[in-house]
C-alpha cells in the first residue's frame, strides 16, 4: 500500500506547548476513492490532518505525490494540490459567499460550473455574508472551496458534524460524487457514512495509529470496531439511516481502547 499511496505519513509527531499530542502516526491515503481517518473523540484525527497541512508544528516524514512536504509551509503544501475543508469549516463570516470562493481561487480557470452544479445555492447566495448561512450551507461552501481548483486530494475533517440528518445525507452524496473525480481523506464519526463511501481506513487511538486496513472489513468485525472505535460496527445500516446513525463517540472503555492501541501500534 505504501508504494502506491498518494499521501503517506510515517512517525508523525506533534508537540504543542510541551503537550505531546501525536506520538507516531502512520497514514496512507489511497490514490483513488475515500480513505477514512477514524478514532474516538480526542484520538488526534484533527491534529493529524493539521500536521499534514503544516498548520501545527510537526516532525516525521510526509510524502505527497512522491514529494517530501513535511517541511513546507501551509500555503506551499496546499499548492501541491490539496483542498482542505477544516473541522470548524473555516468559512470567513464577514466575507460574502462569492468572496469566500474567490479567495480560494488558485487556478487560472477555477471550476465554478462544477461547484455551482453541486451547490446551486452558492450561486444564488453569492452576495450573502457567509456568517449568516446555516451550518449545512457553510459546509457546502467549505467543500465547494476545495473543488474550485484542480486538486489532487481533498481533505475533509468531519464535514457532517452538527448537521441535520437530511443535510448529512446530502453531504454524503456530494462526497461520493467528489470521490469519483479526486481522492478524499475523510475524517468522520458517522460510521454509516464511512461504510457507504470509504474504501480503506486508518484508525487512531491516543495519538497513534492503531489500525490500517479495509474500512468495510473493520466495520463488519463487531469486536474490532468496538475495540478501536468504541461502538459496534456489525449492525447492517441501510443507506437511508446514514443520517441518524449514532456517531462513533459512544462511551467505550477508554482503558480497553488504549491497551489495544498500544498493542497494535508498531
Partner 1 sequence: MATVVLLACTGLGLGALYFLIASGLSLIFGLMDVLNLAHGALLSVGAYATWWGAAQAGLNYWLALAFGTAFGTVAAVVLELVLIRPLYTRPRDQILATVGVGLAVPALLMGIWGGDARPFPQPESLAGTVHIAGAAVPVNRFVLIGAAALVLVALRLFLARTRYGLIVRAGVEDRAMVTALGVDVRKAFTLVFAIGGAAAALGGGLAALYFGSVNPGQGANLLIFAFVVVVMGGMGSVAGAAAAAVAVGLVQQFANYYTADGLGDLAVVALLAVLVLARPRELTGRLA
Ligand X SMILES: Nc1ncnc2c1ncn2[C@@H]1O[C@H](COP(=O)(O)OP(=O)(O)O)[C@@H](O)[C@H]1O
> Which residue ranges make up the site for partner 1 (CB under 8 A)?
53, 55, 73-76, 78-79, 84, 86, 90, 92-95, 99, 102-104, 106, 145, 149
39 contacts ligand X (rule: CB under 6 A) = yes
Residue 166 CA neighbour count, 13 Å, CB half: 1
Spell out the SS3 assignment of 85-107: ECCCCCCCCCCEHHHHHHHHCCC
Please give the Cα distance from 23 to 174 (Å, whole number).
Answer: 33
Residue 92 binds what, of partner 1, ligand X, Mg ion, none (CB under 5 to 8 Å, by partner type)?
A: partner 1
Contacting range for ligand X; rule: CB under 6 A; set: 42-50, 108-116, 139-147, 258-266: 42-50
Judged by CB under 6 A, the residue of 11, 24, 42, 81 near ligand X is: 42
- Parallel, antiparallel, or unpaired: how do β-strands 7-16 and 19-29 relate? antiparallel
Q: How far is the CB of 158 from Mg ion (least distance, A)?
A: 6
- Which residue's CB is nearer to ligand X, number 50 or number 195? 50
Q: Which of residues 29-68 bind Mg ion (CB under 5 A)?
A: 45-46
Q: How far is the CB of 100 from partner 1 (least distance, A)?
A: 8
Residue indicated by cell numbers 481548483: 149
159 contacts ligand X (rule: CB under 6 A) = no
Contacting range for Mg ion; rule: CB under 5 A; set: 87-95, 96-104, 108-116, 146-154: 87-95
User: Quick one: which of 186, 181, 176, 196 has its CA closest to 148?
Assistant: 181
Q: How far is the CB of 46 from Mg ion (least distance, A)?
A: 3
Environment class of 194 (CB within 10 Å of its CB; exposed 0-12, middle 13-18, buried 19+): buried
Question: How far does the chain reach from its first CA to its final CA, in angstroms?
Answer: 16
What is the contact surface with ligand X in residues (CB under 6 A)?
Answer: 16-17, 19, 21, 39, 41-47
Amino acid at each position: 500500500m505504501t508504494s502506491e499511496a498518494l499521501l503517506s505519513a510515517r512517525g508523525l509527531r506533534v508537540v504543542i506547548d510541551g503537550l505531546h499530542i501525536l506520538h507516531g502516526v502512520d497514514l496512507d491515503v489511497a490514490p483513488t476513492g475515500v480513505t477514512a481517518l477514524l478514532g474516538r473523540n480526542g484520538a488526534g484525527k484533527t491534529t493529524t490532518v493539521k500536521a499534514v497541512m503544516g498548520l501545527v508544528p510537526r516532525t516525521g516524514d510526509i510524502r505527497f505525490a512522491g514529494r517530501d512536504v513535511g517541511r513546507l509551509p501551509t500555503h506551499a503544501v496546499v499548492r501541491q494540490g490539496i483542498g482542505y475543508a477544516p473541522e470548524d469549516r473555516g468559512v470567513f463570516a464577514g466575507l460574502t459567499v462569492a468572496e469566500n470562493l474567490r479567495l480560494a481561487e488558485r487556478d487560472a480557470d477555477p471550476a465554478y460550473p462544477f461547484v455551482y452544479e453541486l451547490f446551486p445555492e452558492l450561486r444564488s447566495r453569492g452576495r450573502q455574508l457567509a456568517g449568516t448561512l446555516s451550518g449545512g450551507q457553510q459546509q457546502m461552501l467549505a467543500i465547494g472551496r476545495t473543488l474550485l481548483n484542480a486538486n489532487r486530494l481533498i481533505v475533509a475533517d468531519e464535514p457532517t458534524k452538527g448537521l441535520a440528518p437530511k443535510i448529512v445525507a446530502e453531504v454524503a452524496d456530494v462526497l461520493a460524487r467528489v470521490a469519483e473525480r479526486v481522492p478524499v481523506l475523510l475524517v468522520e464519526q458517522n460510521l454509516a457514512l464511512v461504510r457507504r463511501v470509504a474504501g480503506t481506513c486508518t484508525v487512531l487511538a491516543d495519538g497513534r495509529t492503531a489500525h490500517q486496513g479495509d474500512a468495510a472489513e473493520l466495520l463488519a468485525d463487531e469486536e474490532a470496531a468496538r475495540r478501536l472505535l468504541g461502538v459496534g460496527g456489525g449492525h447492517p445500516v441501510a443507506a437511508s439511516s446514514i443520517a441518524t446513525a449514532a456517531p462513533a463517540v459512544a462511551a467505550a472503555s477508554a482503558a480497553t481502547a488504549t491497551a489495544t492501541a498500544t498493542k497494535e501500534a508498531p
